[in-house]
Amino acid sequence: MRRKIFKIILFPISLLLTIFVAISGFIVRKCAVLLNILSVILFLAALLGLLQYLAGWPFGGVKDSSALRSAVIAGVCAFLLSPVGLPKLTLWMIGKLDALNGSIKSI
């Protein structure tokens, strides 16, 4: 009897979790393409910043420490937007929510 009551109480939560997991997983997978493009652009910006710091290009040999700082920031942002960064983290969290949903359904 208690089990049926818990199932009735947890059914709306399970339904919302199922819909949320399906929609958010779809959105994350589709947005990963855009994030990959931005990651490549930021990686190229980081390479240009390092080139500017190391060789002084295109400013005639003057080393600029702000170029190194910008290159490091662009590199970190490129990593975060890459497939091993934020998209992987969000897919992991969506998987945990799906596991929670499975646990609720098994009650």
Return the domain boundaries, the chain. 2-105
Cβ pair 49, 68 in contact under 8 A: yes
Confidence (pLDDT) at 56: 72
Place of tokens 């390479």: 47
pTM (two decimals): 0.76
Confidence (pLDDT) at 54: 81
